[in-house]
Amino acid sequence: MTSNTQTSFDPANPDKPYETIQVAVEGAVATITLDRPKALNALNSQVLAEIVPAAEALDADPAIGAIVITGSEKAFAAGADIKEMKDEVYPEVAEKRLFADWEKLAQLKTPLITAVSGFALGGGCEVAMLGDILLASESAKFGQPEITLGIIPGMGGTQRLTRAVGKYKAMDLILTGRMMDAEEAERSGLVSRVLPAEGFAEEVQKIAAKVASMSQVALAAATEMVDEAYRSTLEDGVEAERQQFWRLFDTADQKEGMAAFAEKRKPEWQHR
Ligand code: CAA
């Protein structure tokens, strides 16, 4: 760990504090913490207006090798803000593309780790699923309860949950609105790992630091190719992977990584 900066302020705009998130940087790991405790981190327009530029600024910073999005012990996020959205009407919601900007978090080049304690419901579950790696505390509870409000998931839940857990588990969760605990979520393929509630934040940092210690060109190629598996046929995906794999032999980090292995030393990445 080289630097250690704690900030609740937008580094690009230090006079204007964030109201709904906190941003902290430790070494090469940046952590964005959702911070609306009175509303169980419900995702209102202010959260969206703060988190997307914050994440994009961190993504553009070459010193950052992994971004973590997390919440509180009680709630990652209990969904989109129901009180804010209850009077919305059609077609205005379509015209302003309500919630579409959350998808920008899926387009970050830097590996995104979502770390869930407590409730990850509705939009909260959908933001958790934007992570490249989804870590869950034993206390995590996932669900898509939109049906109980007379709506359906609107931030990618019907698509990402189904791809993660398959049709029948996704239908069960989306049609009943029930929650599933961390153990069921792991068994179903929704989460990367379940970690003990005690020391959860520290373990998340260690995992993020491990990811951030890798070559950034290799990380970007790896995340792009795993995502390609969702978009393409197996044949096209394998060909796209080959192209990426071959291109990595044109990087300094491939030369360094393999030389370091042969010389029994740690690699020094140049991220190019
Ligand atoms: N929106 C707005 N406020 C919310 C909220 C939400 N999604 N979730 C919780 N809150 C608020 C509560 O209204 C309450 O505020 P007050 O103290 O002012 O009454 C505060 O947070 C604490 O919540 P509870 O008292 O309800 O806490 P609890 O521990 O008894 O229950 C809970 C926790 C089961 C998560 C419950 O809060 C709940 O069911 N929340 C709503 C979950 C939900 O339906 N999420 C889906 C939203 S729709 C969506 O996300 C659409 C999409 O796909 C984009």
Amino acid 12: pLDDT: 59
Q: What is the pLDDT of residue 2?
A: 37
Nearest-angstrom CA–CA distance, 28 and 206: 11
Atom 10 in ligand 1: residue holding the nearest Cα: 39
Say which amino acid occupies 73: E
Nearest Cα residue to 33 out of 83, 74, 88? 74
**Residue 126 appears among annotated catalytic residues:** yes
pLDDT tens by residue, 78-99: 999 999 999 999 999 999 999 9
The answer to whether 66 and 247 have CB atoms below 8 angstroms apart is: no
What's the pTM?
0.94
Q: What's the Cα-to-Cα distance from 81 to each of 48, 78, 86, 242, rounded to whole Å?
A: 11, 8, 9, 43
**Ligand 1 center from residue 226 Cα (angstroms):** 33
| Known active-site residue 123 | yes
Residue 24: CB partners within 8 Å, gap ≥ 6? 5, 6, 7, 30, 31, 33
pLDDT of residue 248: 97
Rounded mean pLDDT, 59-74: 98
Structure confidence by residue, pLDDT tens digits, 115-165: 999 999 999 999 999 999 999 999 999 999 999 999 999 999 999 999 999
pLDDT tens track for 2-57: 344 444 555 556 556 899 999 999 999 999 999 999 999 999 999 999 999 999 99
What's the 61 CA to ligand 1 centre distance in angstroms?
Answer: 34
Q: What is the pLDDT of residue 14?
A: 55
Report the separation in Å between the CA atom of 122 and the middle of ligand 1, taken as the mean of its atom positions.
10
Which of 20, 35, 40, 126 best tests ligand 1's pocket when mutated (most atoms within 8 Å of CB)? 40
> Taking all residues of the chain, what is their mean pLDDT, rounded to a whole number?
95
Nearest by Cα to 253 from 206, 219, 223, 227 = 219
